[in-house]
């Protein structure tokens, strides 16, 4: 028991995401709306609803796959990847850097 508390005290605290330069949630939503500007399908409308009702940046981050599929159908996969990868910077400070990987 004593060893457990000694080792726990020696461990550094978990690194928190940098909060100095975080983009506000509403601006993240706006950027996500912008990449769907030429998608007019029912799927796009569902995604827009999910963007508008997301509570956290992590919830918005999880929509990347849906965004990719929708944009791929409206344009092509290369364009979808380009647009999704352009979103990486807006999640800086909200998510751990290890999660911010391009498609």
Q: Write out pLDDT tens, residues 57-99.
A: 999 999 999 999 999 999 999 999 999 999 999 999 999 999 9
CA distance to 34, 69, 96, per residue, from 38 (Å):
9, 13, 30
Q: Residue 85 corresponds to which tokens in the numbers above?
A: 């990868």
Phi-psi region of 83 (alpha: psi -120 to 50; beta: other; left: phi over 0): alpha
How many Å apart are CA 26 and CA 67, to the nearest integer?
17
Residue with tokens 């928190």: 16
CB 55 within 8 A of CB 64: no
Better pLDDT: 2 or 34: 34
pLDDT band at 8 (very low <50, low <70, confident <90, very high): low
Residue among 95, 37, 92, 40 nearest 62 (CA): 95
pLDDT band at 13 (very low <50, low <70, confident <90, very high): low
């Amino acid at each position: 028991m004593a060893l457990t508390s000694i080792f726990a005290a020696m461990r550094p605290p978990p690194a928190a995401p940098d909060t100095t330069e975080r983009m506000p949630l509403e601006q993240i939503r706006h950027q996500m709306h912008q990449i769907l500007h030429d998608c007019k399908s029912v799927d796009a409308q569902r995604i827009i609803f999910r963007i508008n009702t997301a509570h956290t940046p992590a919830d918005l981050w999880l929509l990347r796959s849906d965004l990719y599929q929708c944009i791929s159908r409206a344009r092509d996969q290369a364009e979808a990847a380009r647009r999704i990868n352009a979103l990486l910077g807006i999640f800086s400070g909200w998510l751990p850097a290890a999660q911010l990987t391009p498609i």
